[in-house]
Amino acid sequence: MPQLSTRITSLNEGGSDGWEVFYRARAMVAAGRPVTQLTIGEHDIGTDPTILDAMHAAALAGHTGYAMVPGTTALREAIAARVTARTGIDTARENVVVTAGGQAGLFATHMAVCAPGDTALYIDPYYATYPGTIRGASARAVAIETDAADGFLPDPDRIDRIARETGARSLLLNTPNNPTGAIYPPETLQAIARVAQARDLWVISDEVYDTQVWEGTHLSPRALPGMAERTLVIGSMSKSHAMTGSRVGWIVGPRSAVAALIDLSTATTYGVAGFIQDAAAFALAQGEAPEQAVAEPFRRRRARVLDALARQDLVRAIPSQGAMYLMLDIRATGLSGRDFAESLLDAHGIAVMPGESFGRSAAGHVRVALTVEDSRLVEAVNTLCGFAARRAEAA
């Protein structure tokens, strides 16, 4: 076989993609073993039947051919209206391109702003696909580490220093954050915005969890003064409407950047299925109530898990304000996040993500997705704490 390109062979830098525990848990389920899956951000409900009805009706009405590459007018306008209402920044259809989920938006935005070899910054801990996505766009992925002691909030001075040293082109932010659940406070975002302007960075703002806010408020960096012209916002229907499998999301940004991104869509995905876009437009037209209904179980479960954790002091939850996960500090066991997750899966059939899958900063932590029914989740967390206590004693 002729050689593959280094662009693709170096996606995971020769290492792992970080999903081993998830894959192993999935294989155990396939082999008929009982596993409590607390790994990936997949809702335990399906897409609402009314959205599926809209999808079905759209398909029957003939929306099964090539859809408009930038997105249908109806969906782009619905997204623009949503963004205008939430941020106060005037956003028109021409500021929006529909993408095959947030993931395609992450790739397209890095392709758009980084020439081959340019440096793209991202904050560690990070959503596991980030470094591979950046490398896939032929950019150099440089992580900016954070500290558990600061709730994993990024330090604007550190961003400034690394941006200066590397001559970076872009900075990828994610608030509300996966995996930490942090929502960046306005002061942090304002300071980062000043750095972005001083260092002439594009900010790629991954806001796919903007409907999962448990404390405080979500602020889009695009809404800060001087930022609309250098910010590309990634949005998605996956988390807000339990539409992960539909693969529909968007990028919002300056008109000329969006025009270029539409050319990229023509060259890559050639758009998103019309019946999916019609279903997404229908879903957005229902307003915030259904989004809150989708988010509600995570809010409730988070509170219940925090109650369960409060009954012991070995496993500590990282203070978080949003998203469907909790990050737990298990360093008192003396185990790495990876060893903890692997042995918890073997001993108790409970699958959690090792912190190390999300970067160096999250070593010694595990991420728990709040994606199973309440009592089963609390039982799993209690089992996890008991397991941690035994491992700490044995250490």
Check: CB of residue 210 under 8 Å from CB of residue 235.
yes
Q: How far apart are the C-alpha atoms of 359 and 375, rounded to whole Å?
A: 30
Q: Which two tokens stand for residue 140?
A: 């150099």
- In whole angstroms, the minimum distance from the beta carbon of 135 to ligand PMP comes to 16
Q: How far apart are the C-alpha atoms of 311 and 132, rounded to whole Å?
A: 39
Q: Which is nearer to ligand PMP, 88 or 216 (CB)?
A: 216
Q: Which residues bind ligand PMP (CB under 6 A)?
A: 41, 101-103, 127, 174, 178, 206, 208, 236, 238, 244, 249
Q: Which is nearer to ligand PMP, 199 or 241 (CB)?
A: 241
- In whole angstroms, the minimum distance from the beta carbon of 211 to ligand PMP comes to 13
Q: Which two tokens stand for residue 150?
A: 């600061």
Q: Which is nearer to ligand PMP, 268 or 382 (CB)?
A: 268
- In whole angstroms, the minimum distance from the beta carbon of 326 to ligand PMP comes to 14
Q: Which is nearer to ligand PMP, 196 or 272 (CB)?
A: 272
Residue among 188, 252, 189, 195 at smallest CA distance from 221: 189
Q: Kindly report the number of other CB atoms within 10 A of residue 47's CB atom.
A: 19
- In whole angstroms, the minimum distance from the beta carbon of 122 to ligand PMP comes to 11
- In whole angstroms, the minimum distance from the beta carbon of 247 to ligand PMP comes to 7
Q: Which is nearer to ligand PMP, 105 or 290 (CB)?
A: 105
Residue among 108, 343, 329, 386 at smallest CA distance from 234: 108
Q: Which is nearer to ligand PMP, 41 or 154 (CB)?
A: 41
Q: Which is nearer to ligand PMP, 47 or 333 (CB)?
A: 47
Residue among 25, 47, 23 at smallest CA distance from 36: 25
- In whole angstroms, the minimum distance from the beta carbon of 126 to ligand PMP comes to 8
Q: How far apart are the C-alpha atoms of 5 and 320, rounded to whole Å?
A: 40
Q: How far apart are the C-alpha atoms of 358 and 325, rounded to whole Å?
A: 13
- Beta-bridged to residue 178, according to DSSP, are none
59: CB partners within 8 A, 6+ apart: 275
Q: Which is nearer to ligand PMP, 112 or 208 (CB)?
A: 208
- In whole angstroms, the minimum distance from the beta carbon of 139 to ligand PMP comes to 17
- In whole angstroms, the minimum distance from the beta carbon of 236 to ligand PMP comes to 3
- In whole angstroms, the minimum distance from the beta carbon of 52 to ligand PMP comes to 17
Q: Which is nearer to ligand PMP, 163 or 243 (CB)?
A: 243
- In whole angstroms, the minimum distance from the beta carbon of 136 to ligand PMP comes to 14
- Beta-bridged to residue 145, according to DSSP, are 124
Q: How far apart are the C-alpha atoms of 106 and 125, rounded to whole Å?
A: 17
301: CB partners within 8 A, 6+ apart: 370, 374, 377
Q: Which is nearer to ligand PMP, 40 or 57 (CB)?
A: 40
Check: CB of residue 278 under 8 Å from CB of residue 54.
yes
